[in-house]
Amino acid sequence: MNPIAVTSHVLDLDSLIRLVSTGGGHGAVATFIGVVRDNNLNRRVTHLEYEAYEPMAVKTLEQICREADREWPGIRAAVHHRIGRLAIGEASIVIAAASAHRADAFAACRYVIERVKQIVPIWKHEFFEGGEVWIEGATAKPDDEAARREAVRRACA
């Protein structure tokens, strides 16, 4: 299994956990699952559709995992993001990060989701009772060092 994926298939967190925890030395695994919620801004959400520029999204996710490894040496991170139509309660993103100790696993996992929100070219189309709207996606450039430092700050908060 590839540690990085942008896919229309249902996401499998257990596979990512096995992937990052294979091999010795990792005593901690932290995970994150982003799920489609049924409301946003006082509107009843019916479903979401995610679109991506897939080749760039995969490259950017790979970059994020490399950044996390530089920041917390020895961690292993994996991230899969779903595209297409998602129902309420379905996972849109799954992240697993393994390290020797829990602090680095938690920080790396948080860092990955913060950077995904900042720089990955994936866009969310929200459908709600009475309308639809595109939700703003990535707002920073992948090489924006200030944005990267802000993600580290949030990860370590």
Q: What does the pLDDT average to over 51-74?
A: 96
How confident is the prediction for the chain on average, in pLDDT? 94
Full residue range of the structural domain in which residue 42 is found: 4-155
Whether the model pTM is above 0.75: yes
Residues 69-90 have pLDDT tens digits of 999 999 999 999 999 999 999 9
Partners of residue 99 on adjacent β-strands: 28
Residues 119-135 have pLDDT tens digits of 999 999 999 999 999 98
Q: Return the CATH number at 72.
A: 3.90.1170.40
Domains: count for the chain: 1
